[in-house]
Every structure is written in structure tokens, then in C-alpha cells.
A and B are shown apart, each in its own frame.
Chain A
Amino acid sequence: MKKVFTIEKEDFENAGIVSSQIKKTLKLLGLETVILRRVSIACYEAEINMIIHSNGGKITFELDEDEGRVILSFDDRGPGIENLEQAMQPGWSTASSQARKLGFGAGMGLVNMKRVADEFDIHSSKEGTHLRMVFQ
């Protein structure tokens, strides 16, 4: 099963909607609580990141029936993460003041995601950031 969701730039109004839908789907599937929690938190963080920082893009949610895995991919249209190494440090944040006012941008996003995912790949250039997380 594969579902693709579109994310618009700075669409704070709809922040978290995709994650809610994915969470709902995984609950219907009856996914075990421990992994459900990891997927939900990582997905929410990544979705919010995309809304705050990117020019928009898409989220792909995949259920790998053969291997029994959940795969989340986040592909945006730039502007890219300037210093990826720095962005992977706890507490580092470049969130806009508008985003901070809404309570986003504590700078734990990427660190948290890497911690909870079983596989974590990230590539970033000016054209876009591509993040893929796999949960076993």
C-alpha cells in the first residue's frame, strides 16, 4: 500500500493533518504500540519541518507487505539544508519567528527522527531535501 500526500509551503493551518491520517491508518492496521509511537512522532516532526522550512513537497507513506515494514519518505523542492551536520545537532534550529510563535522549532526534529527510525537516510541540496525513514 502506498499513499502520497502534498505539503504546501508554510501551511501552518493544516500542520499535522498528514501525520494524523497516517497514524489513523496504522491504528486501523493494528500496529504494535511501540512502533506506532515511533512512526507517529517521527512523521509529525518531519511534516512540521517540511511546512516550516521547505518550499513544499510531498510525503510518501508506504506499507511493505512482504517485509512487514513501514516506510516514510519526505521529498521537498528546496531550498535545502545549508549545513546538514549542524542540523543534526540537538537544539539547532533555523525556524522562523512565525513558526516559533506557533510553538514549533525546538530544534529536536532531525535528532529525534534519527533516534526512533530503524533506517534513516537524508540527502540535501538546493533543489531539495530527501529524507527516508524505515521502521521495522
Chain B
Amino acid sequence: MKPTISYTLSSCKGCLKCLRACPVGAISINREIVHIQSDKCIDCDACLKACSTRGLKVKSAHMGDSFDRYDIKVALVSSSIYANFSTYQEAEEFFHALKCLGFDEVVDYSDIEGAIYHRGIQEVEEKNMGCRITSFCPSVNKLIKKNFPMLVERLLPFDYPVEIAAKQVRKKYQGKNVGIYSICECIAKMTLAKEPFHNMESNIDHALSISHLFPKINKNRGQCQENINPCRDGILSVVSDFYKFAQASKPVVSVDGLTHVKEALEEAEFDQLDKIGLLAVFGCYNGCIGGHFHWENPFIGEINIDRFEVYARKEYAKLEEGMMFKEDIEDEVTPLTRKEKLARFKKINEALDLLPGFDCGACGYQNCRTLAEEYIDGKASLSDCRIREAVHEG
């Protein structure tokens, strides 16, 4: 799988901002080209936000190219979209404008988000397993899998609401040629789809960003309105602050923003969060309403979406058990034995002793350890370290 975010300019300033911002050390800069390691990248937006030359771009699909392939086209929209509208009418207009782009149906899957929100709380009430973790955020799920493997068993077993919504659409139009489009508020969610990221096991055919669609939607606005019917529990599930309204006998706590998330997960690894029944985790600030593609900022977004709560009367969905669960995909295991790992680790540490340990990033790697690793693998030289070179010359 290719990285979601790619570098598009011929040269960068080499300011190292993206390198420093990456929460998982997936970025290196070599000869003024940014390299993103796809096996480490968790598809958050930290590098994109940090880039001072706007050289980083998200791979995006153009929907026009794909529309002819399908007889029926369905758009899926998360309840977090409501954060962008200050009035109910604006939301109605938006849904109509979206439909006007050529979709046969626009599905607001807040009822599915609500269902998973409910099932999550129910699961925690029924099973006594210490602190459980729930997240609709693909970035957080990847972060846990890659960097907090001890916590994988604490993750609730439910699939992403958008995937469940796609499965339902697929079932509804069984035997028909249907194209399912996920209208995404963030980069991480885009990566779930088949296109443009080749996730062939997904039920979502295409991912489109809402900001990419915005100009087109804007053109069609103000003509008519579509009836909308959001589900309150869906809205509660996508805003970090709203988890305080969760009705559960055990404490429900939410954490948002990857820096805070990592801190909480570190504690959870030592069993230090076991007084919490459910930890709701969001990669973006304020929850999904902080997604990179929302045009309203997450602070005003929270006020906006709060207003929709009064109108949100739809019951949460009654889901079939079979549709709810995530299929487990086994990750590749490194073929190294314990002793081989220890031997490699020793070599890396010996190389690390030769480096200054400032983690300045000037060599193009996030920290001295990464340079040491690359050196052991024969991909870099210790002379790439500018401080070391300066000392030698001096």
C-alpha cells in the first residue's frame, strides 16, 4: 500500500517541520525529498499541518471518473458533518446539493454511529475487563496496533460505522451495480476505501473528501432542501466532549489529539486506567469534528453540532450481529527470533553511542536512533550526522 500522503514539490526547504511533527517517526528527508514509510504511517494529518511550503498533498480520487461505472451511486455521510452548519436549513441544503452531484441516495449513518456507541457501552457493562478502548478513528486503531500492541485486546471488536453503513447499502442493493462513496471528514477515514488506496476488502468503493467536494456542493446550494434526520447518539459519538453524557455505571472518559492519546495509552499499558470502564479515543482535537477536511474549526464546530442535538430524533439502528464486527486481519510477524532481535538491538545501541543524542533531525531522520538503525541496515552513513561531522572537522 502506498502512503496516503505524498510529497508533490520538486524540492522542499528542508525545514524538518514534518519530520518533527510525525507522531510515529514515519518520515525521513533525503536530498530534499520527503519520504513517508507506509508501514509506519498511521494516516493522521500531523505532517500536512506542519508543512510550511504546502508540499505535502493527500492523494484524492475524482468522482467524475468513476460515476459511469455504476447504475446506482450512494454517498455515505458521518454525523460529524453537522459541525459545519450553523442552521438546520444549511444542513438540509447541503444534503440536497450533495445529491445533485449525481447520487441516487445520500445516507447519513449517524444511526449506525449511535448503535455502535450504545453497543460499546453495553459491552463494557456486561464484561469486566478493566479499561476498554473504543475508537472510530483509523489513525488511533493503527497507532494502537503498531505502537501499543499490549492494548489491542482492550479495543472493542466493532467495525467502523462507515464500513457497517457500506455493508448495509451493499445488502440493500444486492445483485445491483452499486457504487458506494464515503464522504470523508479526515484523511484516516479516506484510507478505509478501495479507491484510491486499494483496500480491496472494504465495502466502500470510493473515498471523497468533503473539502474537495465543497466548491461543487456550494454551487448547487440554496435551490432546495433534503429532509434530514440525524440520530442523537450518533452525534454524541463523534464529539469528544459529549462522552460525558454517556449513561453508564462505569466511568466513560474521552481523550482527543494524538499527543494526549499517546499519554493515556502509556498509562493504560501499566493497567493504570482500570478505574475507567470505557476510554473513547480520537486522533483529532474535539473528536471527529476536528477532521482535516471540515471547513468549520472544531471549536465553533462543537457549538454548531450541539444545536443539532435538539433536532436529532432518529433512533439508533438495530444492527444485525454479523454486520457489527470487525474482521481480524493478521499482521505479518517479523521473522526474527528473540536472540536475533537482541543481537540487532545491541548493534544499533553501539552505533547510537557514536551519535550525539540531540535528536536534532538535521541528518534527515527523526532521531539519532533512526539514523543508527538505518546505518546498521546499510541505508545511511554515520557521516550523515552534521554535528558529528562538525566536531570531527573542528
Contact = CB atoms under 8 A, between A and B. Distances in A.
A68 B346 CA distance: 12
Contacts of B342: 29, 63, 65, 68
A36 B150 contact: yes
A1 B270 contact: no
Contacts of A44: 270-272
A40 B150 contact: yes
A119 B377 CA distance: 35
B150 A1 contact: no
A115 B152 CA distance: 22
Contact of A27 (B147, B270, B272, B338): B147
Given A28-B345, A29-B345, A63-B345, A68 B270 contact: no
Contacts of A28: 345, 369
A8 B359 CA distance: 28
Nearest to B343: A65
Interface string B312-336: 0000000000000000000000101
Nearest to B348: A28
B384 to A, nearest CB: 20
Contacts of B338: 31-32, 68
B369 A36 contact: no
B345 A1 contact: yes
Interface string B265-308: 01001111000000000000000000000000000000000000
Contact of B150 (A30, A33, A63): A33
A41 B339 CA distance: 23
Contacts of A20: 266
Contact of A33 (B149, B337, B343): B149
Contact of B271 (A29, A32, A41): A41
Nearest to A33: B149
Nearest to A48: B270
B349 A1 contact: yes
Contacts of A68: 337-339, 342
Interface string A106-119: 00000000000000
Given A40-B150, A63-B345, A30 B271 contact: no
B256 to A, nearest CB: 22
A65 B150 contact: no
B388 interface: no
Contacts of B337: 68
Contacts of A33: 149-150, 152
Contacts of A79: none
Contacts of A31: 338, 341
Given A30-B341, A36-B150, A23 B346 contact: no
A33 B346 CA distance: 20
A45 B366 CA distance: 32
Contacts of A41: 270-271
A29 B341 contact: yes
Contacts of A40: 150, 269-270
Nearest to B267: A16
A19 interface: yes
Contacts of B369: 28
A9 interface: no
Contacts of A19: 270
B84 to A, nearest CB: 39
B334 A1 contact: no
B307 to A, nearest CB: 39
Interface string B104-127: 000000000000000000000000
Most buried by A among B149, B334, B346, B369: B149
Contacts of A36: 149-150
B339 A65 contact: yes
Most buried by B among A23, A27, A28, A29: A29
A65 B152 CA distance: 28
A37 interface: yes
Nearest to A19: B270
B148 to A, nearest CB: 9
Contacts of B272: 16, 44
Interface of B: 147, 149-150, 152, 266, 269-272, 334, 336-339, 341-343, 345-346, 349, 369
17 contacts: A23-B266, A23-B270, A27-B147, A28-B345, A28-B369, A29-B341, A29-B345, A30-B334, A30-B341, A36-B150, A37-B269, A40-B269, A44-B272, A63-B345, A63-B346, A68-B337, A68-B338
Given A23-B266, A36-B150, 20 more contacts: A1-B345, A1-B349, A20-B266, A23-B270, A30-B334, A30-B336, A30-B345, A32-B338, A33-B150, A40-B150, A40-B270, A41-B270, A44-B270, A44-B271, A63-B345, A65-B339, A65-B342, A65-B343, A68-B337, A68-B338
